[in-house]
Amino acid sequence: MKLKLARTTLKGKPKIVEIEEIIAELATKSIFYFDKENSHKELKELIEFFEEKGYSVYMREVKYGLDENEYVYEVHII
């Protein structure tokens, strides 16, 4: 499964990561920010994947501007 991490600049492109990379980073961090270009279905699959592995997962939209399209997905994996 490939997901796009949140952009670091407004005009930048999101970095694509594999789920294996997210698993490897779980040892050092538990909060991940994903770009708005990810579909809701892809994020639900991510949540289900980690819940099947025994993790607790929480996802929400975080708005960083006044425009409706200025948001990222924040995912907590514990």
Residue in 22, 26, 27 with CA at minimum distance from that of residue 2: 22
Q: Which of 10-14, 28-32, 40-44 has the lowest mean pLDDT?
A: 10-14
In the prediction, which pLDDT does 72 show? Answer: 94
Does 73 score more than 90 pLDDT? yes
CA 77 to chain centre: 10
Does 9 score more than 90 pLDDT? no
Count of residues making up the chain: 78
Does 35 score more than 90 pLDDT? yes
Q: In which band, very low, low, confident or very high, does the pLDDT at 21 lie, cut at 50, 70 and 90?
A: very high
Residue 38, helix vs strand vs coil = coil
